[in-house]
Every structure is written in structure tokens, then in C-alpha cells.
Chains A and B, each alone.
Chain A
Amino acid sequence: MQDHSSTMRYSTVMSRLTLAIFVLVSAACSQADTVNINVSGSSTVLPVVSRAAEQYAQEMPEVRVVVNAGGSGVGVKQLGSGQTDIGMISRDITDGEYEQYADVGLKTYAIGVDAVVPVVSSEIYAAGVTSLTFPQIASIYRGEVTNWSAIGGPDLEILVIDKEASRGTRQVFMSKIMGNKNATAPGAKLVLGSNNEEQTALAQSDAAIGMLSHAWLNDDVKGLSIIIADGAPIEPTLANIKNGQFPITRNLLLVSRSDLSAPAQDFIDYILSPEGQKIVEESGYIRVSE
């Protein structure tokens, strides 16, 4: 009545399963002496930390820096609730956040300076729209200007690309352009998340406008110059960001709690050191110390 082959299979599979569990558990225990530093937040700061983590691992093999994206809001939130050791933020910490996490004592470290640049598809840039004023950009995001021809471009509808509300890049951009970091953008046609995603959508379109960190500009997505009060257009160059001429700049921050662990402090110090600052520069940002 018993099926022999099936009984055989039953026991062999069971023993293999046991073996697999054993291997799994021993693998899990073998590295127990490493220290993890958990970092999460802004996709603008992420390249710096991710690259720094790769190099840091060569010097300190027993420390692992675990990096996660999500945006500046997530960075503060996860740090404040104790899920991470370091937050990456691409805007200033708000009073509300300081207040909300008063018990953990948020502490910031500026690791670099970046610009938020209004960007357009390369086709629009080539067609002659190379600089705009703040009011012009604001009217596009408010939905008052919907065709490039109204501001000296070709007769094409503007694809207005917005960003998720919690993104640091958006908050910096909106507070300069619209005067309110949480301003709504009724003119927006798409809402995207990370710099990568926004860059892709801009490159895939031939009539888009969006906002990007300076480090994401390339041949497909061109940064606009900004005209302030009838002055000359200010190009989004590193030099202009460095000397403070370009009007939408921001500090890139790492944030910690007051109970920062020694390895995490070491890692922050590494990013502030000359080697770390070199990575900041290679990532397309301005270093904060020479």
C-alpha cells in the first residue's frame, strides 16, 4: 500500500532541506563580527556615500556601509525612528523635524554643495531656450504657460515634470521658484522620484522641463541658465555654484542622532577628509573643505 519511491524521495528531500538550513545558519553566523552602518535618504547624496562606502570598505573591511535610497524625507524619518545610523539629506532640516525628533538630537554635517538646476530636453535647448527667469519657470509649473513658443522656443507643448513631494530637490527648487517648498504644481504632467528616473523621462522626451541635481546634467538633459532681474544669464557651472552666483544652491548633508556610534562617526569623518572630499568632487558636487 505504501509507495516506496515516494517515501524515499520524502526522506532524501527532508535531509537535503536540513542541510540547506544548516548551511544557511552557518553562513549567517560566520560574519557576525562585522559592524553595519545603515544609511538612507536623498538620491542626490547617495552617489557620494555609495562611492565612499566602496572605498572605505577597502580600508576598513570589518565595517559595512549599507546604503538605501528613498529621498530626504525618508532619510530624516528613518534616522529619527532609529532604523538607520546616518541620514542623507539634500535640503535643510526643517524646524518641524528638529522638534519632532528633539529627543534623539539631530546633528548635521555638510559634506558638499550642489545646485538644483532647471533642466530641459536637449532638443529644446538646441532650439534656443537656454535661459529662463524664475517667474517664467514658475508660470510653467503653475500651468499658465503650456507651449514652448510662448517663451521663445519651438511650437511644442511643454512636458512639465514634477517630483515626489518628499524629495529634497523639489523642496529646494520650489522654495526658490514658487516661494513655498510645498507649493503645488498644477501644470505638471508627470511626477517622478529619484534623479535617475527624472533624468530618464527628460531624455526620453523632446519637450520636457524638470529639475535635477547639477551632477545629473549630461548631453541629453541640459541645464538652463537663470536670469535674475534683467542681468546676464547665470550658467549652472561649477564655478558659478562655488562662488554663489547660481541662485539655487543647497548643502548636501549627512545627519546623525546624538548617540552616533564610533564607526559611523569614523565614516562621516572619512567623507569630510581629503579622500572623501575628492569623491564629493568626482560625483559632480562642490567640496566643502580643501
Chain B
Amino acid sequence: MRISRLYIAGSAIVSAIIVLLIFVTLIVNSSAAVAANGFHLFTYEWNPAKDQFGVLPMIFGSGAVTIIALCLAVPIGLMAAIFTSEILNPMWRAPVKSVLEILAGIPSIIYGLIGIAFFSVWVGDLFDLQSGRTILTAGLLLAIMILPTIITLCDDALHNVPQKYRETAAGLALYKYEIVKDVLLPIAKADINGAVLLALGRALGETMAVMLVIGSIDRVPEPFYNALSAGQTITSKLGREVAESAFGSVHFSALIFMSLLLVAITVSLTSLTQFYFKQEQRLVE
């Protein structure tokens, strides 16, 4: 009895320690960069040889690819979810969702391979560019990667709206378009917002695929909306440079600082998402 309680409390403590350990490790190891650079971290020059560690180009890149990905994936994903939930014969819904789940399971490194072998070449040809390794390519690839998540979660959100609303609306002779726009979407709005936030977190944290196609240059494009030039995200910077910097150096610490920023954003997004999704709780009687 005592051992059993020890085991269960022990595992819970181990789980908690893991989370805390990760945060503490990141905070401790990024402190050197903050101490050495202070607000100079938020500038545009990254050059370890000159002790310049400006992280803004990477923050810009992460923001840019994520916005592109969401702008492409949210409309398409939401429309497709409306189709699977409201128009498609319900018989097909389960198989479609299974296929989506499988699509979501394709490892990101394979997306990266497809990106480098096809997408970067296509983007280069389509826009007549010297190099298809661009912010747009990365955004496009990310859009495809988060699409299954958006469709599945939006489909759930719409499907969870009780049938009686549809029946009442149909009774008022509303068209499908009006039912979806005026009845279902307002009710499912919270869950759909949650889905978008979750996808946003995924896109921000994605590393391998982005790293292979973005061109890895630490610079904000000129003009800044020129998505057809190369860029750098926080994750691609980390993927390429963490192993190269000496543990304990300011350079290393500046990279960890970026990682901490990223974690802070994605973790708050995921936690925020939980407030959107309803969650049944059963506390011990």
C-alpha cells in the first residue's frame, strides 16, 4: 500500500519535475545572453564573431512564415471542415477523419524532403526566382502541415453543435450557407478559435521542414513584405546553430534565449487553447 502510493505520487512528481526542469534549464542558460546584451538582443544584427546577437530577424521570420501558413490553411481548412461536417454523407465522415489523422502523422522531415525536392523548385520556377528557398516556400509547406489539424478540429467544432439548431434553421427555410454562417459558426466559434491557436503553436514550433527550405539568412527582407526572399525562423536558427556554438558561451546562451521566447509563446498558446476547448472533469468523489 505504501509502495503503491509512493509509486503513484512519485510518477506525478517526476512528470512535474520534467516540466519544471526544462523551464529552469532554459532560463538559467539564457541568462548569460541577457546579462551581456540586455535590450541589444532585440536588434537586427546577428554576428557571433562581433558579439552581436540581435534576434529580431528570427522573430520576424517565425512570424512571417506562421502568418502565411495560417492565411492559407485556415480558410481552406475551415471550408473543407464545413464540407466534411455539413455536406458530406455522414457515413464517410469517420474514414475521412482517419485519413486526415494519418496525414497529420507524416513526419516533418519527410515534408522537408518534399519541400526541397519539389516546392522550392516550383516556387523558384513560378516566380522566376534565383532560389526557391524563400519565406513563402516555408509558409506554404507549413500550411500543408497544419491543414489536417485545422480540418479535424474545425470539423469536431461544427459537428458538436447540437442537431436541433440545424433542424430549426432548416425549418425556417434557410439555405445551407445561412445555416452555417448565421447559426453554426457563431456557436462553434470558441472551438474554432482554439483550433487556430493550436495550429499556430504547431507552426511556430516546426523545425525540420522549415530549416531545409527557408534559406537561413538572418535578415529581414527588403521590403519587409517580400516573402520571395530567404529568411530565418527561430527554429531554423536553432536547428542549424545550436550544435555549433560552445556550451556556456554568450553565443549559445543567445540561442537558448530565443528558444525560451519560442517556448513561452507556444506554451501560452497551448494553455490558452485549453480555455477554448470544453473539458469534462471528474474529481475524486
Contacts and interface: CB of A to CB of B under 8 A. Distances in A.
Query: Is A–B contact present in the complex under a CB 8 A cutoff?
Result: yes
Interface of A: 70-71, 73-74, 77, 81, 156-159, 162, 164-166, 182, 184, 188-193, 200-201, 204-208
Given A189-B229, A190-B230, A204 B124 contact: yes
A191 B130 contact: no
A189 B130 contact: yes
Contacts of A191: 215-218, 230
B133 A190 contact: yes
A40 B132 CA distance: 31
Interface string B38-54: 00000000011110000
24 contacts: A73-B244, A77-B246, A77-B247, A81-B246, A157-B130, A159-B130, A162-B217, A164-B216, A164-B244, A165-B244, A182-B47, A184-B47, A188-B217, A189-B130, A189-B229, A189-B230, A191-B215, A192-B216, A193-B216, A193-B240, A204-B120, A204-B121, A205-B130, A208-B130
A182 B49 contact: yes
A189 B131 contact: yes
Interface residues of B, number: 25
**9 shortest interchain CB distances as A-B pairs:** A182-B49, A159-B130, A166-B244, A191-B216, A190-B215, A191-B217, A77-B246, A73-B244, A190-B230
A213 to B, nearest CB: 18
Contacts of B121: 204
B241 A207 contact: no
B243 interface: yes
Interface in B124-183: 124, 130-133
A156 B131 CA distance: 13
Contacts of A157: 130
> Among B120, B218, B246, which residue has the most Cβ atoms of chain A within 10 A?
B246
Given A165-B48, A189-B130, A204-B121, A71 B215 contact: no
Nearest to A204: B121
A189 B214 CA distance: 11
A157 B244 CA distance: 32
Contacts of B246: 77, 81
Given A190-B230, A191-B215, A192-B216, A81 B120 contact: no
Interface string B232-249: 000000001101111100
Nearest to A166: B244
B216 A190 contact: yes
Given A73-B244, A182-B49, A190 B217 contact: yes
Nearest to B124: A204
Interface string B107-127: 000000000100011001000
A200 B115 CA distance: 14
A226 B161 CA distance: 71
Given A71-B244, A77-B246, A192-B216, A182 B131 contact: no
